[in-house]
Amino acid sequence: MSDGTTEALDMAAVAEVLGVCRNTAYDLLRAGLPHIRVGRVIRVPRAALLRWLDEQAQTGAALATSRTTARGRRKVTAR
């Protein structure tokens, strides 16, 4: 953290960076967004987030699509 930036983001910060709500950010974890879990705490390394976004842009894949299952739950799948 030599330049004053946070190296690992919490989910609220990830959601802000991506411009999505916090629930969608959690859905992206399940769809393959790299993260670190220590107990109940989830952090996304800034470099891994930027790399993942770059990979998504290069492949032309959408970040994720979501649909509602028969039980009313949202299911997110990476494309």
pLDDT tens digits for 4-14? Answer: 567 999 999 99
- The set of residues, in sequence order, having a beta carbon less than 8 Å from that of 75 and lying 6+ positions away, is 66, 67, 68, 69
What domain count does the chain have? 1
Residue 50 domain-assigned?
Answer: yes
Residue 26 domain-assigned?
Answer: yes
pTM: 0.68
Residue 2 domain-assigned?
Answer: no
Q: How far apart are CA 27 and CA 42, in angstroms?
A: 13
Please give the average per-residue pLDDT across 21-40, as a whole number. Answer: 92
pLDDT at site 31: 85
Could you give the percent of the chain with pLDDT greater than 70? 67
pLDDT band (50, 70, 90) for residue 57: confident
Residue 34 domain-assigned?
Answer: yes
pLDDT at site 1: 46
Residue 3 domain-assigned?
Answer: no
| Residue 56 structural domain | 8-77
Q: Which long-range contacts (CB under 8 A, 24 or more apart) does 69-78 make?
A: 74/23, 74/27, 76/27, 76/28, 76/30, 76/31, 77/31, 78/31, 78/32
